[in-house]
Amino acid sequence: MICYLCPSTNEFIGGIRIIYNHVDILNRNGIEAAVLHETVGFKVTWFKNTTKVVYSLDDNNLLITPEVYSPSVFPGRDRIIFNQNYYLSKSIDHTCKGIMAISHHNAKLIRAKFPGIPVTVVNWSLPKDIYFYDPLIAKENIISFFGIKNTVTLEVVRKHLLGSSWKLVQLEGSDLEVANTLRKSKIFLQLGLKEGCPRPPAEAMACGCMVVGYDGGGGKDYMDGNYCYPCESDDLSSLLIKLNRAINNPYLTELSPIKSYYILNKYSAELEENLLLEAIKPYVNTTRQTRH
């Protein structure tokens, strides 16, 4: 069985949901897998799931650890690392059998540091039933954002917008509530500085928002200047200039279906499944047919 070690916290952490989704994908394809929580009885409840969870390892289990864990956790065991953010990495070392990276940006950094370790890219996916553009919902002069990152820059933007018809709206609540707000928003403000592959800007694009903000490094995988207004992390002047461009773009809402189509095709569930199954194949005794 494949066991994904996962923090025992019920905080809203997107990477935890991705781990749970990996386990579901593997089990659905006949590869036994489970989330490994060290706190007995714990299971994440902030999103709906029926994911298999275990609380201990057997000798024959294949261990997959996130990048935030030190190699001192379960020492001496063969492991694969699932690296969702190189900038938070604690567990990249020469003892692992391989690394799955969440983005090409992450993979590039890892290969530069550890050229001898096999690295494969396994992207996340966007659920099309939640994040989608609806032409029947009128876009408003709303700039939505998540408030947990970079509050200093957020305050600068807030002052920048004083006297305008635009309002900043913090995203809160369930996935459905967030998606509903994004469908009404014209712009999404991305403020993360060091990201493995930030998903919120992609969710916003899927809902037809124009994304403006920092690519965080990992956002370079999809924050294409043809579909959004990306800028280098912590380049505040560039952020404000590009925010002005977005606000004054006469085709802002006309571009909504194009952005949505682009990102939903780039991060489909089918692609994530195929990438994961191909990445895990060298470590398990199974045969499968890749779906196209």
> What 3-state DSSP class applies to 258?
helix
> Structural domain boundaries of the chain?
2-124+269-283, 140-266
The predicted model scores a pTM of 0.91
Same fold yes or no, 2-124+269-283 and 140-266: yes
Q: Is 36 in contact with 57 (CB distance < 8 Å)?
A: yes
C-beta of residue 1 within 8 angstroms of C-beta of residue 61: yes
Q: Among the residues of 37-174, which ranges form H helices?
A: 104-113, 151-160
- Assigned CATH for 2-124+269-283: 3.40.50.2000
Q: What is the pLDDT of residues 253-270, one digit of tens each?
A: 999 999 999 999 999 999
CATH superfamily of 140-266: Glycogen Phosphorylase B; (3.40.50.2000)
Closest CA to 206 of 230, 233, 227, 232: 227
Q: What is the pLDDT of residues 35-78, one digit of tens each?
A: 999 999 999 999 889 999 999 999 889 999 999 888 788 888 88
Say yes or no to pLDDT of 288 above 60.
no
Q: What's the longest Cα–Cα distance across the chain?
A: 64
Contacts of 136 (CB under 8 A, 6+ apart): none
Distances (CA, A) of 274 to 29, 128, 197, 270, 278: 10, 17, 19, 6, 6
CA distance 15 to 2: 18
Give dist(CA 134, CA 176) in Å, integer: 14
pLDDT greater than 70 at residue 218: yes
What pLDDT shows up at residue 6?
A: 96
Q: What is the distance between the alpha carbons of residues 134 and 84, in angstroms, rounded to a whole number?
A: 30
